[in-house]
A and B are shown apart, each in its own frame.
Chain A
Amino acid sequence: MSNYFDALSVLILFSSFILMANKRIKSYIKTFRIQSLLIALAAGIMGIKGSFEEGRIDILVVCLLIVVLKVIFIPNLLNKTYANIEYKVEKDFILNIPILILMCCALVVFTYFSLSTIDGINAGIINTQVVNSVSVILIGLLFMISRKKAIGQIVGFLVIENGLYITALFSTHGMPFIVDVGIFIDVITAVMILGFMVFRINEKFESIDIDKLNNLRG
Chain B
Amino acid sequence: MGFFLLAIPVLAVLLFLFFKKEKLLYMISVSASICLIIVAVLITRQVMLWGKVEYSSLGGIFYLDALSIIVLDIVLIIGLMASIYSVGYMEEEIKQGKIKIGRLKIYYILMYSFIFTMILALTVKNMGIMWIAIEATTLASAFLVGFYNDRYALEAAWKYVIICSVGIAIALLGIIFLHLSSIGVLPSSDYLDWTALYDQAEALNTSIARLAFIFILVGFGTKAGLAPMHTWLPDAHSQAPSPISALLSGVLLNSAMYGIIRTVAIVNRNLGSGVYTGRLLIALGILSMVTAAIFILTQKDYKRLLAYSSIEHMGIIAIAIGIFTPLSVFGGLLHMINHSFTKSMLFLSSGNILQKYHTKRISGIKGVLKLLPVSGTVFLLGLFAIAGMPPFSIFASELSILASIFAIKSFFLGLVFVILLAVVFVGIALNLFKVFYGPAVENNLSPGEVNTPGLMAIVTLLVVISLTGIVIPNELKVLITNAQSIILGG
Evaluate contact between A125 and B129: CB separation under 8 angstroms.
no
Q: Which of A118, A179, A189 contacts B207 (CB 8 A)?
A: A118
Evaluate contact between B208 and A118: CB separation under 8 angstroms.
yes
Evaluate contact between A183 and B206: CB separation under 8 angstroms.
no
- Contacts known (A118-B208, A213-B155, A216-B239); A161 close to B179, Cβ less than 8 A: no
Complex CA gap A120/B207 in Å reads: 9
Q: How far is the CB of A40 from chain B (nearest CB, A)?
A: 19
Flag whether B139 is at the interface (Cβ < 8 A).
yes
Evaluate contact between B161 and A197: CB separation under 8 angstroms.
yes
Total residue contacts A-B, CB cutoff 8 A = 130
Residues of A within 8 A of B139 (CB): 186, 189-190, 193
Evaluate contact between A183 and B172: CB separation under 8 angstroms.
yes
Interface digits, A88-105 against B, CB 8 Å rule (1 contact, 0 not)? Answer: 000000000000000000
Residues of A within 8 A of B211 (CB): 114-115, 117-118
Flag whether A167 is at the interface (Cβ < 8 A).
yes
Q: Which of A171, A190, A216 contacts B180 (CB 8 A)?
A: A171
Evaluate contact between A216 and B135: CB separation under 8 angstroms.
no
Flag whether A129 is at the interface (Cβ < 8 A).
no
| CB within 8 Å of A: which B145-169 residues | 146, 149-152, 154-159, 161-162, 165-166, 169
Complex CA gap A157/B157 in Å reads: 16
Closest A residue, CB atoms, query B155: A213
Q: Which of A19-27, A61-69, A76-84, A200-208 contacts B (4 or more CB under 8 A)?
A: A200-208
- Contacts known (A182-B128, A194-B161, A216-B235); A157 close to B169, Cβ less than 8 A: yes
Complex CA gap A179/B139 in Å reads: 17
- Best-surrounded residue of B142, B176, B234 (most CB of chain A within 10 A): B176
Closest B residue, CB atoms, query A216: B235
- Best-surrounded residue of A144, A150, A204, A216 (most CB of chain B within 10 A): A216
- Contacts known (A171-B180, A204-B154); A179 close to B128, Cβ less than 8 A: yes
Interface size on B, residues (CB 8 A): 52
Complex CA gap A182/B120 in Å reads: 13
Residues of B within 8 A of A185 (CB): 132
Q: How far is the CB of A65 from chain B (nearest CB, A)?
A: 15
Flag whether A139 is at the interface (Cβ < 8 A).
no
Residues of B within 8 A of A150 (CB): 158
Flag whether A34 is at the interface (Cβ < 8 A).
no
Evaluate contact between A125 and B180: CB separation under 8 angstroms.
yes
Flag whether B41 is at the interface (Cβ < 8 A).
no
- Contacts known (A175-B128, A182-B132, A215-B152); A153 close to B162, Cβ less than 8 A: yes
Evaluate contact between B129 and A157: CB separation under 8 angstroms.
no
| CB within 8 Å of B: which A160-193 residues | 160-161, 164, 167-168, 171-172, 175-176, 178-179, 182-183, 185-186, 189-190, 193
- Contacts known (A157-B165, A216-B235); A172 close to B176, Cβ less than 8 A: yes
Interface residues on A, range: 35 or more
Q: Which of B154, B166, B177, B207 contacts A200 (CB 8 A)?
A: B154
Complex CA gap A157/B162 in Å reads: 8
Complex CA gap A216/B176 in Å reads: 35
Interface digits, A138-166 against B, CB 8 Å rule (1 contact, 0 not)? Answer: 00010010000010010001001100100
Closest B residue, CB atoms, query A164: B172
Evaluate contact between A218 and B295: CB separation under 8 angstroms.
yes
Evaluate contact between B135 and A167: CB separation under 8 angstroms.
no
Evaluate contact between B158 and A213: CB separation under 8 angstroms.
yes
| CB within 8 Å of B: which A112-126 residues | 114-115, 117-120, 125-126
Evaluate contact between A172 and B238: CB separation under 8 angstroms.
no
Complex CA gap A200/B208 in Å reads: 42
Evaluate contact between A137 and B157: CB separation under 8 angstroms.
no
Q: How far is the CB of A26 from chain B (nearest CB, A)?
A: 21
Complex CA gap A178/B172 in Å reads: 14
Q: Which of A137, A168, A179, A201 contacts B158 (CB 8 A)?
A: A201
Complex CA gap A176/B300 in Å reads: 48
Residues of A within 8 A of B159 (CB): 213, 216
Flag whether B400 is at the interface (Cβ < 8 A).
no
Evaluate contact between A194 and B155: CB separation under 8 angstroms.
no
Evaluate contact between A137 and B154: CB separation under 8 angstroms.
no
Interface digits, B211-222 against A, CB 8 Å rule (1 contact, 0 not)? Answer: 100000000000
Flag whether A134 is at the interface (Cβ < 8 A).
yes
Flag whether B173 is at the interface (Cβ < 8 A).
yes
Residues of B within 8 A of A119 (CB): 205-208
Residues of A within 8 A of B207 (CB): 117-119
Evaluate contact between A216 and B205: CB separation under 8 angstroms.
no
Flag whether B249 is at the interface (Cβ < 8 A).
no
Complex CA gap A171/B116 in Å reads: 32
Complex CA gap A203/B129 in Å reads: 36
Complex CA gap A216/B235 in Å reads: 6
Complex CA gap A125/B183 in Å reads: 9
Residues of B within 8 A of A194 (CB): 158, 161-162
Flag whether B191 is at the interface (Cβ < 8 A).
yes
Q: How far is the CB of B236 from chain A (nearest CB, A)?
A: 9
Flag whether B424 is at the interface (Cβ < 8 A).
no
Complex CA gap A197/B160 in Å reads: 12
Evaluate contact between A193 and B142: CB separation under 8 angstroms.
yes
Evaluate contact between B165 and A190: CB separation under 8 angstroms.
yes
Residues of B within 8 A of A (CB): 59, 126, 128-129, 131-132, 135-136, 138-139, 142-143, 146, 149-152, 154-159, 161-162, 165-166, 169-170, 172-173, 176-177, 179-180, 183, 191-192, 205-208, 210-211, 234-235, 238-239, 295, 299-300, 304
- New A-B pairs, 20, CB < 8 Å, besides A134-B173, A178-B126, A190-B139: A118-B205, A118-B211, A120-B205, A125-B205, A137-B169, A144-B162, A161-B169, A171-B177, A172-B183, A179-B192, A182-B128, A183-B172, A190-B138, A193-B143, A204-B150, A205-B151, A216-B155, A216-B234, A216-B235, A218-B300
